[in-house]
Amino acid sequence: MQSSAPRHPQLAPSERILMGPGPSTVPARILQAMASPTLGHLDPEYLAIMDETRELLRAVFRTRNELTLAVSGTGSAGMEACVVNLVEPGDEVVVCVNGVFGARMKDVMERAGATVHAIEIPWGESFTEIQIADALERHPKTKVLGIVHAETSTGAHTPLEGVAKLVHDTGALLLVDAVTSLGGMDVRIDDWGVDACYSGTQKCLSCPPGLSPVTFSPRALEAMDARKTKVQSWYLDMTMLRNYWGGNRVYHHTAPINMTYALREALCLVVEEGLDARVARHRENHERLRAGLEKLGLRYIPEKSLTTLNAVQAPEGVNEAEGRKWLLENYDLEIGAGLGPFAGKAWRIGLMGHASTRRNVDLVLAALGELLA
């Protein structure tokens, strides 16, 4: 008797050239690592892989922070992990908002019970040290200042080199979103004095989405250890997670084992290339792309652009959604739409990790040239 169960064709997703705001193209070597045999989450071999991953993360974050690990979840889980571990109900915080992800950090802070003082500037602009210093002076009880290093929604880059001193001089902690910069732009946790930082795997690390690298300074650990209340989230509570990722290896949750393999392999690729060389590659490809886009008459949205994400205004008379659809159908090429005030008015072109190549730059310029012609 034949089974009546429906038959499904073999899974065969299209091979796209991913040049949007993420995910980025994943190298075969990382996909092969994901296909390795699954171990138990407390198997000694897997615990050794976790240790290697932490060591590699420290190298890529440029930090010696003991508490450096990968949260099970995407970059937004890393954001929540940083917030709920550092913030208690009633704490005062300052959040710098110049796009979607600054606004999301503000929302997460409010959900954690903080009194949030937001510095809001027009989308596409970058924060200055004067603006940050003024906010800290107006709110002297600030416990945490949160800022987005690489604002994915607008492509704006806010340099951080002098920010930590302003924050630390008031006794506060510096929390940084490096989701679209880690592994593609300069991120120096120790040199810049960053107290907590989170990122994602699917951007410049060119790993599938699913883990969020985070790191916490000794000052951040002191703040955690001095808490008067339990961390709002059981799943993201670092007092337990650090005992699983290190310490006594106390079971906390079933980690995504094969995703850890993928992240380890992605970090190996970063270290093998060299951080300085990788940053230079992203910068050179950005400059080539920018010159070509401006030659096509496309205008950049941010004054200070990321080298990993290029946000440009769609030309008058062009339906940006139809343009993106045409690129996907004719070139298997994905670019991103604008968000917020730029919805329907902008394109976001990613040059992240494995996708940041001269070949891809020339391809997107040729495809856009054909589209606009």
Q: What is the pLDDT of residues 191-225, one digit of tens each?
A: 999 999 999 999 999 999 999 999 999 999 999 99
Q: 143, 27, 146: which is closest to 82 by C-alpha?
A: 146
Identify the bridge partners of residue 68 per DSSP, sorted by sequence position: 215
Cα(34)–Cα(272) distance, integer angstroms: 19
Categorise residue 179: left if φ over 0, alpha if ψ from -120 to 50, beta otherwise: alpha
Whether 265 has a pLDDT exceeding 70, the answer reads: yes
pLDDT the model gives residue 74: 96
Kindly report the three-state secondary structure assignment for every residue of 33-69. Answer: HHCCCCCCCCCHHHHHHHHHHHHHHHHHHCCCCCEEE
Show the DSSP H helices in the chain as ranges. 28-34, 44-61, 75-86, 100-111, 129-138, 163-169, 189-192, 218-225, 238-245, 257-273, 275-295, 320-331, 358-372
H or E element: which one contains 208? none
- The mean pLDDT value for 129-143 works out to 98
* Average pLDDT score, the chain: 96
**First vs last C-alpha separation in the chain:** 60
What is the average pLDDT across 44-64? 97
Here the tokens at position 245 are: 């990722």
Give the other-Cβ count within 10 Å of 12's Cβ: 6
Distance CA(88)–CA(91), nearest Å, equals 6
Beta strand pairing call for 299-300 and 211-216:
unpaired
What is the per-residue pLDDT for 2? 61
Would you state the pLDDT for residue 241? 96
State how far the Cα of 142 lies from the Cα of 218, in Å rounded to an integer: 19
At the top level of CATH, which class does the domain 17-22+275-372 belong to? alpha beta
pLDDT grade for 7, boundaries at 50, 70 and 90: confident
CA–chain centroid gap for 144, Å, is: 19
What is the pLDDT averaged over residues 88-101?
98
pLDDT, tens digit (0-9, with 9 covering 90-100), for 246-263: 878 999 999 999 999 999
Q: In this predicted structure, what is the pLDDT of residue 6?
A: 78
Whether residue 9 has a cis bond before it, omega within 30° of 0: no
**What are the φ/ψ torsions at residue 172 (nearest 5 degrees)?**
-90, 175
Q: How many CB atoms lie within 10 A of CB 367?
A: 19
CATH number of 28-271: 3.40.640.10
Helix, strand, or coil (residue 156): strand
Among the listed residues 365, 240, 183, the one whose alpha carbon sits nearest the alpha carbon of residue 292: 365
User: To 5 degrees, how large is the angle CA 217–CA 218–CA 219?
Assistant: 90
* Structure letter (DSSP) for residue 158: -
What percent of the chain clears pLDDT 90, i.e. is strictly above it? 96
**pLDDT over 70 percentage in the chain:** 99
Residue ranges covered by each domain of the chain = 17-22+275-372, 28-271
Residue type at position 350: G
Confidence of residue 3 (pLDDT cuts 50, 70, 90): low
Residue 339 clears pLDDT 80, i.e. is over it: yes
Q: Is the pLDDT of residue 284 over 90?
A: yes
Give the residue-averaged pLDDT of 137-145.
98
User: How high is the pLDDT of residue 1?
Assistant: 54
Q: Mean pLDDT throughout 335-353? A: 97
